[in-house]
């Protein structure tokens, strides 16, 4: 029980589809993250939200659109994706983001395995 859940666990979509990934954390954390994990590549940080405000966007294409309605929920809306977007998308949370001199431990969900056809 990691305290971070993600749905769906698997998703297959066409390039013209619109879908959303959902993440929920039950840890009382204030910061939430989206990462992309592609085969044989390091994890890539996509977005960070702290207290529902987006604080980081690492040059992610606009076909990925995050939404954070509250500190417990994070969504990733997908539209007109490309086959190279196929990957494992991981959500994580931590107590806070960017507290000076302190690195908060991040807790990860199980991920959504996305296949774009």
Partner 1 sequence: AQSVTQLDSQVPVFEEAPVELRCNYSSSVSVYLFWYVQYPNQGLQLLLKYLSGSTLVKGINGFEAEFNKSQTSFHLRKPSVHISDTAEYFCAVSESSARQLTFGSGTQLTVLP
Q: Which residues bind partner 1 (CB under 8 A)?
A: 2, 4, 6, 40-43, 45, 48, 56, 90, 92, 97-98, 101, 103, 105-111
- Min dist CB 47 to partner 1, Å, is 12
Alpha helix (H) residue ranges in the chain: none
- Min dist CB 6 to partner 1, Å, is 8
- Min dist CB 42 to partner 1, Å, is 4
Nearer to partner 1, 18 or 51 (CB): 51
Residues 6+ apart with CB under 8 A from 51: 30, 31, 71
3-state secondary structure of 110: coil
Q: Which two tokens stand for residue 59?
A: 């040059």
Nearer to partner 1, 36 or 85 (CB): 36
Q: Which two tokens stand for residue 43?
A: 């994890």
């Amino acid at each position: 029980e990691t305290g971070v859940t993600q749905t769906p666990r698997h998703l297959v979509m066409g390039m013209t589809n619109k879908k959303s990934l959902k993440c929920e954390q039950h840890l009382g954390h204030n910061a939430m993250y989206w990462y992309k994990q592609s085969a044989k590549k390091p994890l890539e940080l996509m977005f960070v939200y702290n207290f529902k405000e987006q604080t980081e966007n690492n040059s992610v294409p606009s076909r990925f659109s995050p939404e954070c309605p509250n500190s417990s929920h994070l969504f990733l809306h997908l539209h007109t994706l490309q086959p190279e977007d196929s990957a494992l998308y991981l959500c994580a949370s931590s107590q806070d983001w960017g507290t000076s001199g302190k690195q908060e431990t991040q807790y990860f969900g199980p991920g959504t395995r996305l296949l774009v056809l």
